[in-house]
Amino acid sequence: MEFNIALLKGDGIGPEIVDSAVSVLEKIGEKFGHKFNFTPYLIGGCAIDAVGKPLPEETVEGCLKSDSVLLGAVGGPKWDSLPGDIRPEKALLGIRAAMELFTNLRPAKLYSALKEACPLREDLVSKGFDIMIVRELTGGIYFGERGYRQGKYGLEAYDTECYSETEIRRIAKVACETAMKRGKKVISIDKANVLESSRLWRKVVHEVAEDYPEVTVTDMLVDNAAMQLVRNPQQFDVAVTSNMFGDILSDEASQLTGSIGMLASASLGETKRGLYEPIHGSAPDIAGQNKANPIATILSAAMMLRYSFDLTAEADAIEKAVDLVLDSGLRTADLVGDSDTKPLSTTEMTAAVLERI
């Protein structure tokens, strides 16, 4: 099979980690008989330097013509003094909007080899955990009506949580379809004991679940979910929730894994085309020094294979290779901690993954 992938390397360590992921995809192509065509486009600070804007039209057009998009990172102190509407980070919102991406898939997996880095007690994570948070990305309180008005105590500000049946239905469908590729269990997180928007959320999620009889769907209030993530993270397989709740809970879950350098993500819409990126930033302090951990970007590429291209065996091969690398005790600088382990460079870690595919 042949696929066209747009590369948005971006700023800081972005080019280094994207190059690592490209090497892994090329290896997968050789092993499984696929061809991946890569086309680079400008985004973020490097785009500002080159053409004066963080998201050039050519980049948008290229992404829309591609089968999927792999993003590194954007931003850095060089561009911090620019106005908000032309800062590098503005490009992220722009490309997500242009690609009509309404779902964010954010996995949080504790690798057995990294259990000591988890802040939870060993008895709570002895069996590890593998959570996929499915966050609604373009609705809810972040996009609702907002403003200022005179209230009972004078000037007050307001933000409105609003969800339509259509928005809930499509994110619930993504959650169920994601669960079908995993443990076939969905926990829908809401605040239905207080919020009308959550009551509609709960109703629609269960309507959608009727089309997926193999998937078990249960409900959990968001405050309880926040507690359960640190009390018993192993109970979660797929968790689906609103924009604001997902924003908060996915950050909480990410801290349980021990290193942000291990975490991938995917943003998806109605089509198979998605935007895949590590959740860490551009790390300008180590840019160009061959020190960055490429694993999050490599795992983002694996997510692309799984969710956009339906290449399950190929995605499994990458994820298994990462497991083997970690089990062998190999670490980049961010994973070494206080141990005497000699850290691998970006290229050395990439080579180690390639060797095990």
CATH for 327? 3.40.718.10
335: left (phi over 0), alpha (psi -120 to 50) or beta: alpha
Instruction: Establish if 295 belongs to a structural domain.
Output: yes
**Catalytic residue check, 49:** no
Q: State the average pLDDT over residues 327-349.
A: 89
Q: Is 251 helix (H, G, I), strand (E, B) or coil?
A: helix
18, part of any domain: yes
Mean pLDDT of 138-151: 92
Q: Does position 290 have pLDDT exceeding 80, yes or no?
A: yes
Taking residues 54-64, what's their average pLDDT? Answer: 98
pLDDT of residue 127: 84
**DSSP letter, residue 344:** B
Question: How confident is the prediction for the chain on average, in pLDDT?
Answer: 94
**Token pair belonging to 103:** 């779902």
Catalytic residue (choose from 191, 237, 276, 291):
191
Would 5 be classed as within a structural domain?
A: yes
User: What is the sign of the dihedral through the CA atoms of 205, 207, 208 and 211?
Assistant: positive
Task: Classify residue 115: in a domain, yes or no.
Answer: no
Helices (H) and strands (E) in the chain, counts: 12, 12
Q: Which of the following is catalytic: 159, 223, 316, 327?
A: 223
Choosing from 19, 130, 219, 251, which is the catalytic residue?
Answer: 251
Give the total number of structural domains in the chain. 1
Which positions ≥6 away from 19 have C-beta within 8 Å? 9
Task: Tell me, yes or no, whether 206 lies in a domain.
Answer: no
Longest dimension (CA), the chain: 67
| Average pLDDT of span 321-336 | 92
The pLDDT, as a whole number, for residue 321 is 97
Give the confidence band of 218 by pLDDT, cuts at 50, 70, 90. Answer: very high
Residue 177 lies in a domain: no
pTM for this predicted structure: 0.88
Q: Which residues span the domain enclosing 345?
A: 1-105+269-357
The answer as to whether 98 is a domain residue is yes
Does 31 score more than 80 pLDDT?
A: yes
Which is more confidently placed, 142 or 236?
236
Window from 74-78, 230-234, 338-342 with minimum mean pLDDT:
338-342
159 is catalytic: no
Catalytic residue, from 53, 78, 142, 184: name it. 142
**Active site annotation includes 223:** yes
Is a pLDDT exceeding 70 seen at residue 157?
A: yes
pLDDT exceeds cutoff 80 at 338: no
| pLDDT tier, 115 (very low <50, low <70, confident <90, very high otherwise) | confident
Structure tokens at 147: 């403003």
Q: Domain for residue 277, yes or no? A: yes
**DSSP E strand boundaries for the chain:** 2-10, 35-40, 68-73, 103-110, 129-136, 146-151, 154-159, 185-190, 216-221, 238-241, 264-268, 274-278
